[in-house]
């Protein structure tokens, strides 16, 4: 079941052509700032057929997950399919802007580490926002699934088995346990928050690890009224690996969130860098 090839690396789930492109851009960004970093993309069979030669050269590993019409169902499978003993799993729409090698030694303190906060583009920690009312209502831990770490251990195995069980019984939990749950199908943010609560928040978070987080470009996290996309709201300049948004160089990973921002032009810019 487990097939670990290397000690550590980054991994994402990419199902569909758009996510494959974003994963490729992410791999380019990681290798630009950490040339020795290893990268794995998990795809379904149909997405695997879309992988181009130049993408294959950047992806160190491609792992296949079962086909699904709801990609988030496959998230817990990444633990088993990772080729790394230690994995930093990130969402595909997230770019790295500087070397984060120092993260590994801190993340090893726990078998599973979930990000507990995110930042705005001014590098300020944003703990609670209008998006998190559901978490407050249900007394769920404020975790952000854009980024997580796991190490191949018995404890981590338990965590992901628990997550898988929650996915399986989501309809019952949604209708009978959760308050004001409007998510018809399970999202990783909700399921992993539930899993963290049941597993023990203290066992899968390190709140004092204030650098294990990312800049989240949702408008409310930025303190902007309205729901316009950030790409329509503020100026962004890219000079890989530098990403400057609203005149501030972003030093933390950028969860750009707006899929259309990943253009062919941007990918070519990273390829040339």
Partner 1 sequence: MTGINNTMNSGASVESKGVVFFAHNTVDVDYVRIADLSARLVEQHLDLPITLVTDTESQPEHDYDHVVRVEYTGNNFRNDHISKETKQWKNHGRYTAYEHSPYDNTLLIDTDYLVLDDGLLKLMELDYDYRVMENSNSSAETMPARMGQVSLPYLWATVVMFRKCPRSKMFFDFIGRIQRNWAYYRNLFMVDGTSYRNDYAFAMSNTIINGYSLTTKNIIPWKMFTVVQEVVRMDTNLKNKIIVRLKDLAITIPKHNVHIMDKNFLTSEAFEEFVEEILDV
In the complex, the residues that contact partner 1 under the rule CB under 8 A are 122-123, 222, 224-225, 233-235, 244, 246-249, 251
Q: How far is the CB of 136 from partner 1 (least distance, A)?
A: 25
- Provide the sign of the torsion angle of the four alpha carbons 47, 53, 58, 64, taken in this order: positive
Closer CB to partner 1, 48 or 246, in the complex: 246
Closer CB to partner 1, 174 or 244, in the complex: 244
Closer CB to partner 1, 99 or 233, in the complex: 233
Structure token digits, residue 132: 């998190």
Q: How far is the CB of 139 from partner 1 (least distance, A)?
A: 32
What 3-state DSSP class applies to 218?
coil
Determine the Cα–Cα distance for residues 116 and 100; give it in Å rounded to an integer: 17
Determine the Cα–Cα distance for residues 71 and 77; give it in Å rounded to an integer: 11
Q: How far is the CB of 118 from partner 1 (least distance, A)?
A: 17
- 42: Cβ contacts below 8 Å, ≥ 6 apart: 11, 12, 13, 14, 62, 63, 64, 65, 74, 77, 78, 81
Q: Which of 38-59 are b and which e, b meaning 16 or more Cβ less than 10 Å from the residue's Cβ?
A: bbbbbbbeebbeebeeebeebb
CB 185 within 8 A of CB 70: yes
Closer CB to partner 1, 134 or 224, in the complex: 224
Q: How far is the CB of 220 from partner 1 (least distance, A)?
A: 12
Q: How far is the CB of 214 from partner 1 (least distance, A)?
A: 17
Closer CB to partner 1, 248 or 273, in the complex: 248
């Amino acid at each position: 079941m487990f097939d670990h090839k290397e000690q550590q690396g980054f991994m994402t789930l990419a199902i569909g052509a758009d996510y494959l492109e974003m994963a490729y851009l992410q791999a380019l960004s990681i290798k630009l700032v950490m040339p020795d970093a290893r990268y794995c993309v998990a795809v379904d069979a149909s997405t695997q057929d879309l992988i181009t030669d130049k993408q294959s050269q950047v992806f160190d590993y491609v792992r296949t997950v079962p086909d699904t019409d709801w990609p988030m169902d496959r998230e817990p499978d990444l633990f088993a399919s990772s080729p790394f003993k230690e994995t930093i799993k990130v969402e595909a729409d997230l770019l790295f802007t500087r070397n984060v090698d120092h993260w590994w030694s801190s993340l090893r303190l726990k078998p599973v580490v979930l990000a507990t906060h995110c930042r705005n583009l001014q590098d300020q920690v944003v703990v609670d926002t209008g998006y998190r009312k559901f978490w407050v209502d249900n007394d769920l831990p404020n975790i952000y699934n854009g980024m997580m770490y796991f190490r191949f251990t018995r404890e981590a195995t338990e965590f992901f088995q628990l997550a898988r069980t929650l996915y399986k019984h989501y309809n019952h939990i949604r209708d009978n346990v959760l308050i004001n749950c409007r998510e018809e199908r399970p999202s990783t943010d909700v399921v992993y928050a539930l899993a963290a609560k049941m597993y023990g928040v203290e066992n899968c978070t390190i709140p004092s690890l204030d650098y294990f987080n990312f800049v989240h470009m949702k408008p409310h996290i930025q303190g902007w009224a309205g729901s316009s996309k950030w790409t329509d709201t503020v100026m962004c300049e890219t000079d890989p690996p530098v990403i400057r948004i609203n005149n501030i160089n972003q030093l933390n990973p950028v969860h750009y969130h707006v899929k259309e921002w990943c253009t062919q032009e941007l990918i070519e810019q990273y390829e040339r860098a």
